[in-house]
Structure 1
Amino acid sequence: MSKDRERTRTLEDLEGDVWPEPPAESTRLVKAVHRLRRRPVGELTAYELGRLVGQDVGLPWTLPLALEILRETAPAQSDGAFYDDDLLSAVLTRKAETWAAHPALTRDIQDILRVLTDLSPHIERDRATFLEASQGID
Structure 2
Amino acid sequence: MKLENNWRQKTLENLEKDFWGKPDYDSHLVTRCHDLRKLPLDNFTTEDLRIMIGQEIGLHYLIPLALEVLRIDLFAEGDFFEGDLLKNVLAIKTDFWNNNKNYWLTLEELIRYRRSEIAAKKLNTHNFDKCLHRLGCSY
Please confirm whether the aligned pair reaches a TM-score higher than 0.5, indicating the same fold: yes
The residue that corresponds to 1:57 in the other structure is 57
The residue that corresponds to 1:118 in the other structure is 117
Task: State the 1:97 CA deviation.
Answer: 0.3
**Root-mean-square deviation over aligned CA pairs:** 2.0
Task: State the 1:115 CA deviation.
Answer: 4.3
Question: After TM superposition, which residue ranges in structure 1, 4 or more long, deviate above 3 angstroms?
Answer: 81-84
Task: State the 1:73 CA deviation.
Answer: 1.4
The residue that corresponds to 2:36 in the other structure is 36
TM-score by length of 2: 0.82
**Counterpart-to-counterpart distance in 2, 1:84 and 1:115:** 18
2:137 paired with 1:133 = no
Q: Against the structure 1 CA distance between its residues 84 and 16, is the aligned structure 2 distance closer, same or farther, given a 3 Å change threshold? A: farther
How many residue pairs end up in the alignment?
A: 127
More helix by percentage: 1
TM-score by length of 1: 0.83
The residue that corresponds to 1:12 in the other structure is 13
Task: State the 1:86 CA deviation.
Answer: 1.0
- For the 8 Å contact 1:46–1:84, the answer to whether it is kept is no
Match of residue 108, structure 1, among 106, 109, 123? 106
Q: Which runs of 5+ in 1 are unaligned?
A: none
Q: Which runs of 5+ in 2 are unaligned?
A: none
The residue that corresponds to 1:21 in the other structure is 22
- For the 8 Å contact 1:33–1:52, the answer to whether it is kept is yes
Match of residue 83, structure 2, among 85, 93, 113? 85
**Counterpart-to-counterpart distance in 1, 2:99 and 2:46:** 23
Q: Report % sequence identity.
A: 29
